[in-house]
Structure 1
Amino acid sequence: MNTHPLAAVLSAYEVQEQWLRRSIALVPCGHAFDAVRMPTDLVHTAARTREPEQVRIYLTHTLHGPVLTDRTTHHHYALVPPNTPPIESHPNTRHLGTNAYLGLPRPDLTHPTTHHRCHWIIPPDRHTLCPPQAITALLHQATTTQ
């Protein structure tokens, strides 16, 4: 099963073109992946730090899959398997599945820059998505830490 985010679109060429023009590609959820949108403050609470490298380490060990952040909207997005039941155990999270789109940054955008609003905290690979139970554990950690 190919779970790379590019598998969600009809044409990898279209994604490449969007990345060349805007450094971000609008990709439909619900095919190769769903996503869980979480407020950045919630992620920082769970990680018990705002320091970017420590947050990255925490998310790597906690979520085990691709995560991106959007500094403009102050949200983190964890990619989960398609057809994952909604994970909305916290009122400020949102499940993005069929009929939703997500802007995916170029794979090489793994650090914040002044020119790009989104970057990967944990870049995607071809075979790994965040297990839903890992998202639930992060949300539980954030709730019990507050």
Structure 2
Amino acid sequence: MTPVTPQLSAAFKWLSHAQQESRQAHREWADTGVALLPLGQRFDAARLPAQLLLASVGTYDPLEIAERLTRFLNGPVLFDGRLMGGTYYALMRPSPGQPWKHQAAAPRLSTGTYLGVPKIGRTKPPGTHWVVPPRFPGDLCEPATVEALIGFGLSITQEAEL
């Protein structure tokens, strides 16, 4: 469990305002540990298949993954292990009208999509959890940085297939 600091609490309050009624997000976090938050206004997310992300960061060690993602993306990332192999989600600044280079391999999710966002302090399995929790209100990855990480991972996985 990550210690709950005032900055972390403020970050989750900011995330909860993605919901039209922010109390709903807090109820979902309290009841199930995960709140369904709409994308497109406050933040977007890149859906990163585990194989692609692990190729990008060059490790399978959970602590190393968290450390490298913190350094590379400088923003929050969560993990959902419900699908085979798991999926990482990088929370990003919305940038409507900007093309997304890697929609086929790692889609950008935005308006019309909801994302299961884990509660404050949930940083370990089981279930959806933070790999890199948000540090402050508005803490998000830059889309160009996420695209660069995806591009690097794609080059590694394509090289491995040769």
> Taking structure 2 as the reference length, what is the TM-score of the superposition?
0.81
Kindly indicate whether the alpha-carbon contact (under 8 Å) linking 1:35 and 1:80 is maintained by their aligned counterparts in 2.
yes
Higher helix share: 2
User: In structure 2, do the counterparts of structure 1 residues 138 and 8 end up closer, same or farther at CA, with 3 Å as the change threshold?
Assistant: same
Question: Which residue, 55, 68, 92 being the options, matches 1:58?
Answer: 68
Mind listing any 5+ residue stretches in structure 1 that lack a counterpart?
Answer: none
Question: Which amino acid counterpart does residue 77 of structure 1 have in structure 2?
Answer: Y
Counterpart secondary structure, 1:4 = helix
Q: How many residues align?
A: 142
Kindly indicate whether the alpha-carbon contact (under 8 Å) linking 1:33 and 1:82 is maintained by their aligned counterparts in 2.
yes
Q: 1: distance between equivalents of 2:77 and 2:131?
A: 6
Query: Relative to structure 2, which stretch is displaced further, 34-43 or 4-13?
Result: 4-13
Q: 1: distance between equivalents of 2:47 and 2:66?
A: 16
Identity, in percent, stands at: 31
Give the Å deviation of 1:103. Answer: 0.5
Question: Which amino acid counterpart does residue 99 of structure 1 have in structure 2?
Answer: G
Question: Which portions of structure 1, spanning 4 or more consecutive aligned residues, are displaced by more than 4 angstroms?
Answer: none
Larger radius of gyration: 2
Question: Which amino acid counterpart does residue 111 of structure 1 have in structure 2?
Answer: K
Match of 2:147 in 1: 136
What is the aligned-residue RMSD (CA, Å)?
Answer: 1.8
Give the Å deviation of 1:127. Answer: 2.7
Kindly indicate whether the alpha-carbon contact (under 8 Å) linking 2:106 and 2:150 is maintained by their aligned counterparts in 1.
no
Q: C-alpha deviations, 1:24-52, integer Å up to 9, x for none?
A: 00110011001110101111000111110
Kindly indicate whether the alpha-carbon contact (under 8 Å) linking 1:65 and 1:122 is maintained by their aligned counterparts in 2.
yes
Match of 1:79 in 2: 91
> Taking structure 1 as the reference length, what is the TM-score of the superposition?
0.89
Question: Which amino acid counterpart does residue 7 of structure 1 have in structure 2?
Answer: H
Q: C-alpha deviations, 1:36-95, integer Å up to 9, x for none?
A: 101011110001111101111110011111100001121100111123535342632111
Match of 1:20 in 2: 30
